[in-house]
Amino acid sequence: MHKIPVDASERGSKWPEKWPARLEKSPYWLLSSHVGVYGKAAPEDFVADYEHWKRGIKSYLNGMGINWSSIRNVMDMKAVYGGFAAALKGLNLWVMNVIPIRSPDTLPIIYERGLFGIYHDWCESFSTYPRSYDLLHADHLFSKVKKRCKLVSVVAEVDRILRPGGKLIVRDNVDTINELEDMVMSMEWEVLKTYSKNKEGLLCVQKSMWRPK
């Protein structure tokens, strides 16, 4: 069992901020003496991640060809601090934040923000019962996962999770983006947008109704 916190700076010693303040504010127990996922002091890392995704969401809303009013549920396949989900707070949808098992354990931060979250190994099947998802988002996930398992198996799992007509947005290195684009085009998915710069790429595709005969 968890021990009762005795220090005011320990997680669990205070109630979280009220919604929506808790969504945007760094948790009190995220200390400057700790190093965050991206190498800055943890509170600065948290803020930088949120600011990054607020900028990113603006481009997603206007430049992807996605009708966001039709998006009801979203999965962030590599969530880190949950900044992507937090940046979507103004939309009428909910986000499942997934923390890959070999990533830093940031799920407590996601919970502190009042968001949904889960751990998962993307080399295994994801339990989606009873629903599929309207949009999947993966930020530098596939390039890491393919070091441990076959990328085609992960793409097959994406195909299973995503509903027909659903969207997949991927940010990753160019080689991985090109590999993914070839795979989804072989399944007759529609490429809505592709972009690359300085060996980094972005891919947005829409799943079709096609199935092998």
Q: How is the chain split into domains, by residue range?
A: 52-206
Give the tens place of pLDDT for each residue, 70-109: 999 999 999 999 999 999 999 999 999 999 999 999 999 9
Model-level pTM? 0.92
Q: What secondary structure, in 3-state letters, does the chain show?
A: CCCCCCCCCCCCCCCCCCCCHHHHCCCCCCCCCCECCCCCEHHHHHHHHHHHHHHHHHHHHHHCCCCHHHCCEEEECCCCCCHHHHHCCCCCCEEEEEEECCCCCCHHHHHHCCCEEEEECCCCCCCCCCCCEEEEEEECCHHHHCCCCCHHHHHHHHHHHEEEEEEEEEEEEHHHHHHHHHHHHHCCCEEEEEEEECCEEEEEEECCCCCCC
pLDDT in tens, 132-180: 999 999 999 999 999 999 999 999 999 999 999 999 999 999 999 999 9
CATH level 2 (architecture), domain 52-206: 3-Layer(aba) Sandwich (3.40)
